[in-house]
């Protein structure tokens, strides 16, 4: 596969997933990259090629612009590598490139305590609303993935996610048995057919629903906080990072998962030392 073919695939994927403003921003760097390397094989591009290209393109630009162009090119390579399951390291991931075009510091992530999430779920009497909370908080789905689920995507304890963010044709998420049973009962109760969406609402409605349910406990919460909780809770209960990354979050890169997880507080660090070695 040539770089030109890879860019065409990436651009087609963007049309259905990004706003026009973002697509236009990507188009600038992709056109430049295609002009330079369009006929090269995708696997042949190395970190030195990327470094030279970015220096020529944005070497004299503002720091924020340099970071943006680097991040865009890294996303392009991640997409193609993930879509075709290539046994290939992203050429943008070299330590030298990361330092030269470093990403803006990540702000601290809010971590929801298990007790808070459990209270919110158990106090939600509406079965539809409870399932929305549980599938995000226990199974790690993005809210957009959850809202697109159809009855045909459910098989026993598996959820097939069509056209996920990774760019693959599909991915599989897994449910605890109790949630799978509740979901099956809900589908039966609503008499939904195979092609029906299970939760037919838009993103803004789902976001408002979760924010309002959280307000009952006097907390602020977004749908993505629930997905992050599913990963953080699993990680802090001994689930290997690779399982958290590949099974729960379905990330392409372990480093993404490490950034994604919340920081460990001092009391929690001390508690884990006691668990590991005794008081």
Q: 166-216: per-residue pLDDT in tens?
A: 777 889 999 999 999 999 999 999 999 999 999 999 989 999 999 999 999
- Three-state SS across the chain? CEHHHHHHHHHHHHHCCCCHHHHHHHHHHHHHHHHHHCCCEHHHCCHHHHHHHHHHHHCCCCHHHHHHHHHHHHHHHHHHHHHCCCCCCCHHHCHHHHHHCCCCCCCCCCCCCHHHHHHHHHCCCCHHHHHHHHHHHHHCCCHHHHHHCEHHHEECCEEEEECCCCCCCEEEEECCHHHHHHHHHHHHHCCCCCCCECCCCCHHHHHHHHHHHHHCCCCCCCHHHHHHHHHHHHHCCCCCHHHHHHHHHCCCCHHHHHHHCCCCCHHHHHHHHHHHHCC
Give the tens place of pLDDT for each residue, 228-258: 899 888 888 888 888 888 888 888 777 777 7
pLDDT of residue 116: 92
Q: Decide if pLDDT at 53 tops 60.
A: yes
* pTM metric for this prediction: 0.63
pLDDT tens, residue by residue, 69-94:
999 999 999 999 999 989 999 999 98
Indicate whether 265 pLDDT > 70: no
Most confident of 45-59, 121-135, 261-275: 121-135
| Domains of the chain in sequence order | 3-100 (1.10.150.130), 114-273 (1.10.443.10)
pLDDT at 106 > cutoff 60: no
């Amino acid at each position: 596969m040539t770089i030109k073919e890879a860019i065409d695939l990436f651009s087609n994927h963007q049309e259905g997933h990004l706003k026009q403003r973002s697509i236009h921003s990507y188009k600038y760097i992709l056109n430049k990259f295609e002009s330079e390397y369009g006929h090269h094989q995708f696997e042949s591009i190395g970190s030195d090629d990327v470094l030279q290209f970015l220096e020529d393109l944005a070497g004299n630009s503002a720091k924020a612009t340099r970071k943006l162009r680097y991040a865009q090119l890294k996303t392009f390579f991640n997409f193609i590598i993930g879509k075709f399951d290539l046994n290939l390291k992203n050429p943008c991931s070299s330590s030298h490139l990361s330092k030269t075009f470093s990403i803006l510091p990540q702000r601290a992530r809010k971590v929801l305590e298990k007790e808070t999430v459990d209270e919110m779920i158990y106090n939600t009497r509406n079965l539809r609303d409870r399932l929305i909370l549980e599938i995000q908080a226990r199974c790690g789905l993005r809210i957009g993935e959850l809202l697109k689920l159809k009855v045909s995507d459910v098989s026993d304890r598996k959820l097939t996610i069509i056209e996920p963010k990774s760019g693959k044709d599909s991915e599989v998420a897994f449910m605890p048995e109790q949630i799978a049973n509740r979901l099956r009962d809900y589908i039966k109760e609503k008499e939904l057919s195979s092609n029906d969406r299970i939760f037919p609402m838009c993103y803004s409605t789902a976001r408002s629903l979760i924010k309002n349910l959280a307000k009952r406990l006097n907390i602020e919460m977004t749908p993505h906080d629930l997905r992050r909780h599913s990963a953080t809770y699993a990680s802090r209960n001994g689930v290997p990072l690779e399982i958290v990354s590949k099974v729960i979050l379905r990330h392409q890169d372990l480093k993404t998962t490490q950034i994604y997880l919340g920081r460990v507080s001092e009391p929690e660090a001390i508690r884990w030392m006691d668990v590991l070695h005794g008081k």
